[in-house]
């Protein structure tokens, strides 16, 4: 969603004006909640790989 769309939605839905910087920050927070922290997910990949190797050491 574009910043102008977010600002317009808030104006229509709640009848308040918000600056574009506030809409930008809200969009960043929403994305992080939905997508998660990529660096945290990437760090979990190594432990997942180690666990797979440990659990299936006799299967490969």
Report pLDDT for 26.
96
Question: What 3 state SS string does the chain have?
Answer: CCHHHHHHHHHHHHCCCCCHHHHHHHHHHHHHHHHCCHHHHHHHHHHHHHHHHHHCCCCC
Q: Which tokens in the block code for residue 51?
A: 């666990």
Residues 39-56 have pLDDT tens digits of 888 888 989 999 998 888
Which pLDDT band holds residue 36 (cuts at 50, 70, 90)?
confident
Which residues have CB under 8 Å from 17's CB, separation 6+?
Answer: 7, 10, 11
The model's pLDDT over 18-34, given as tens digits with 9 standing for 90+, comes to 999 999 999 999 998 88
Question: Residue 23: exposed, middle, or buried by beta-carbon count in 10 A (0-12, 13-18, 19+)?
Answer: buried
Q: Could you tell me the pTM of the whole model?
A: 0.61
């Amino acid at each position: 969603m574009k910043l102008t769309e977010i600002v317009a939605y808030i104006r229509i839905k709640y009848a308040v004006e918000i600056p574009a910087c506030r809409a930008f920050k809200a969009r960043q927070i929403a994305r992080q909640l939905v997508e998660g922290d990529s660096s945290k997910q990437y760090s979990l990949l190594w432990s997942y790989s180690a666990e797979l190797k440990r659990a299936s050491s006799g299967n490969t």
